[in-house]
Amino acid sequence: MDTQLRPHAGLNQQWRQPQKVMKLARLGSAHQCRLSFMRTLLRQLKKERWQFKRSHWTIDQQGVGQAVYQAIGPVRTYSLVVFAHDLPDEMRSDRVIAQAWDATFTLFDGVPTVSDLARLEKNVPLQEAGRISSSEISLSRANRSVRLFSYVVDCLAGGHQPERSELENVGYLMRTTAVYGAGKFGAADRDLIWQREELSGPFRAEMLSVWLTRAFTVDLAEHMARVRGGSQAVLLNTELRRCLGVGNSTGLGMAPFLVNHPTLINNWIIAREEALARVRNICEVRSEKTARFKHFLDRATLNAEKWHSTHPLQAARILQLRSDLEKLKQYIDNFDFNIDKPLDSLYRWSEQYLSLEGQEQLAMLLMEPYPELVDGLTDCMIADETKLPMINGRMSVGEMRELLRLHYDWALTTDYTRDENRSRFWYVSEEKLEPRLGERFDEPGSELEQPLCIGWHVWRLYQALGTRSDSETLAAFLMQHPEFRHVARRAQQIESHPYMEIRDNLIASDMLPIDMLRLKLSFFGATRFDPRSDRWVRINMFQYAPFPDELLTMPDDDWAYPPLTTLA
């Protein structure tokens, strides 16, 4: 066959190439950046001068009751509706199979009436077992970090402030264990809201819900301190308060999202790679930008010092990151920023001398001084996924084989006849309808495998195409082999979506699901990744961010790394 190689229609040669970017090891070293969704949300709320108020509070002396937090924008109002519960310690579980939580939440579209609250009270505390409606945009729950929550309440009730180091070590008073959106359990479909400017970005509503949840966690602690300490009790100092984010505990449930939303993932990565290419291409870096970069490098260094994990892999990576940042700082001390394209030179140096953690951290730091080049790219991070792409059945079998050879060499060169290359299988648990990872050769159930092992499916498609005539149409082939429809449709997208595939074997015996989780969570803006196994991870969200009552008076988007003043 003599089909001519086609260039990658959607690929800009100045971006880091997909075969480098889309490997799990690098994706699993991802860091938040200016494009992360938490930062995008707060930039927008500040720019549009949103107002916030706690409009309803019936929490009693046991910490049980309701609260409503309104976010009032120029066009619409959204309300976080909170149900606080009295949860016995033995029922507190972060696992998705839990049935009760310290607090449950929904983000309501508008301002809820008394009858809305009555309806929600019957459903939101049940989470997956309840039903919400198209008036609700998200559904979530959170559990207390019991030790820190008690410590903070004790301190405030006694009339004194908690220690900063205690707050920073844990980092949150509550951690969410699931934040559902996009039509789950009857909630509003994304189609209903994505054209609203304030919610058009990915996960914007979920991030708003988490940010308001953070305000509630502190309000609840202060409330309990007042109950306990009466007039002696004090409020949490606003600078200390910012040391608290919202924790999150995430397991395998998030991993299939990355495979099932190829267009969206492609668009996220392209926005990030375009941002990086823009800053690397800057010919002359002005001195104030250099100073800004060095300032953020110091703060990233502080962040790495404060980042702890007991997971052996992550603990080693954090040590490596600290050493990388030290090496980078020394290199920069003697680095001449007056050369042509200095940031490009710096990045190239990192590829030679730093670990993947260090390289990715530097890449994200390079964007910090350049909001004018980076921030607008957030508008490119959405995708309409309500329609399936059509299969081009007029493509010939020969052309399809060529396309696979060109873009899926990473899959075609894997030997899937070997057990270790397909030793796992993804499935959905019957009890909680949650994604799980099974051992193909030790556990039953692989006949119910989910089609997440794209590499293996592509490999099998390629083998099957090899037995057919090059001139046959793909439509005719698929009529006889419908088992390849999904993967043929997918593969045809890759020319225009070069970053849509994780270019690794997602069912290999040594695959680390936490690498997949970190990719998505870093786009959210999460920090302090702390894997608790190879399958679930704890993170922090919105740590050091302004609270609703101070958003308008705090500097723009200056919170994603810890402030240097905490060195004192």
Partner 1 sequence: MIYSLNEIDAHCKKAARGAGFEWGYAEEIGKAARWLAAFDLPGIAVLAAYLKERDEHPELFCRPDVSNMAHIISRNSGSLCPVLTGAWLCDSAGTDTQASMQFELLYYPLLLVPFLAQIAGSIQQTLTFEYRSTRLQYSDGVLNLDNDADLGCRLWGGYRISWRSSRSRLA
Q: What residue ranges bind partner 1 (CB under 8 A)?
A: 131, 133-134, 182-191, 386-388, 390-394, 451, 474-475, 478-479, 482-489
> Minimum distance between the CB of residue 6 and partner 1, rounded to whole angstroms?
18
Distance (Å, rounded) from C-alpha 552 to C-alpha 124?
31
Q: Which CB atom, from 5 or from 388, has the smaller least distance to partner 1?
A: 388
Q: Which CB atom, from 78 or from 151, has the smaller least distance to partner 1?
A: 78
**How long a stretch of residues is the chain?**
568
In the chain, the amino acid numbered 148 is L
> Minimum distance between the CB of residue 416 and partner 1, rounded to whole angstroms?
18
Q: Tell me the three state secondary structure of residue 167.
A: helix
Q: Are 32 and 526 in contact (CB under 8 A)?
A: yes
Distance (Å, rounded) from C-alpha 281 to C-alpha 347?
11
Helices (H), 251-286: 255-260, 262-280
Closest of 118, 105, 42 to residue 68, by C-alpha: 105
Closest of 560, 561, 563, 409 to residue 39, by C-alpha: 560
Q: Which CB atom, from 416 or from 484, has the smaller least distance to partner 1?
A: 484
In 6-90, DSSP assigns E strands to 51-57, 65-72, 77-84
Distance (Å, rounded) from C-alpha 563 to C-alpha 544?
8
Distance (Å, rounded) from C-alpha 551 to C-alpha 481?
57
> Minimum distance between the CB of residue 183 and partner 1, rounded to whole angstroms?
3
> Minimum distance between the CB of residue 188 and partner 1, rounded to whole angstroms?
7
CA distances (Å), origin 380, targets 16, 292, 371: 18, 26, 15
In the chain, the amino acid numbered 508 is A
> Minimum distance between the CB of residue 386 and partner 1, rounded to whole angstroms?
7
In the chain, the amino acid numbered 267 is N
Measure the CA angle with vertex 528, ends 523 and 533; round to 5°. Answer: 95
> Minimum distance between the CB of residue 283 and partner 1, rounded to whole angstroms?
44
Q: Are 116 and 187 in contact (CB under 8 A)?
A: no
Q: Which CB atom, from 23 or from 485, has the smaller least distance to partner 1?
A: 485
Distance (Å, rounded) from C-alpha 399 to C-alpha 412?
16
Q: Which CB atom, from 356 or from 478, has the smaller least distance to partner 1?
A: 478
> Minimum distance between the CB of residue 307 and partner 1, rounded to whole angstroms?
36
> Minimum distance between the CB of residue 185 and partner 1, rounded to whole angstroms?
8
Query: What φ, ψ does residue 117 adopt, rounded to 5°?
Result: -65, -40
> Minimum distance between the CB of residue 211 and partner 1, rounded to whole angstroms?
24
Distance (Å, rounded) from C-alpha 472 to C-alpha 461?
15
Q: Which CB atom, from 376 or from 482, has the smaller least distance to partner 1?
A: 482
Q: Which CB atom, from 126 or from 302, has the smaller least distance to partner 1?
A: 126
> Minimum distance between the CB of residue 443 and partner 1, rounded to whole angstroms?
20
In the chain, the amino acid numbered 115 is S
Tokens found for residue 243? 């040391």
Q: Which CB atom, from 62 or from 134, has the smaller least distance to partner 1?
A: 134
Q: Which CB atom, from 137 or from 537, has the smaller least distance to partner 1?
A: 137
